[in-house]
Amino acid sequence: MNKRWVFAALLIGSITLSPGLAPATDNDPDAADALLRLVQEESDQTLFLRCCWARGRAGFRYCREYGICESDRESVCEGIGPAEGRTLACSEPPPTLPEGG
C-alpha cells in the first residue's frame, strides 16, 4: 500500500475519531471528502517540495528534475504527476519540512 495513503488514512482516522470533529464528518460525507482532499493536497505539496530540494526520496516522482533547487538557485522547479502545474522559484529559501521521507 502506498505510504501516502497510509499516512492520510491514519491522519483522517485520528481526526474523525476525536470527539470534537466526529459529528461533523459522520453526518456530512462531503465534509469527510473535503478533509481527505485537503490531506492529499498537503501531502502532494510536501512531496513536491521534497523533490525540488532533494529532501529524501519519497517525492522524487513529483518534479521534473530531482534536487534542482539544491543545485541551481536560479532555476524553477516544475511539478509532474500529482504535482502537475505546480512551480517553485528556487531563489526562495528552502521550506522547513518534517523529517523523514
pTM: 0.60
- Joined together, the cell numbers standing for residue 73 give 538557485
Q: Where are the domains of the chain?
A: 3-89
DSSP state at residue 63: B
C-alpha cell belonging to residue 37: 482532499
Beta carbons within 8 Å of 63's beta carbon, 6+ residues apart: 48, 51, 52, 77, 78, 79, 80, 83
pLDDT per residue as tens, the chain (101 positions):
444 444 455 445 544 444 444 445 556 777 777 777 766 777 888 889 989 998 877 778 899 999 999 999 999 999 999 899 999 999 988 877 766 55
Lookup result for grid cell 530531482: 66
CB 51 within 8 A of CB 58: no
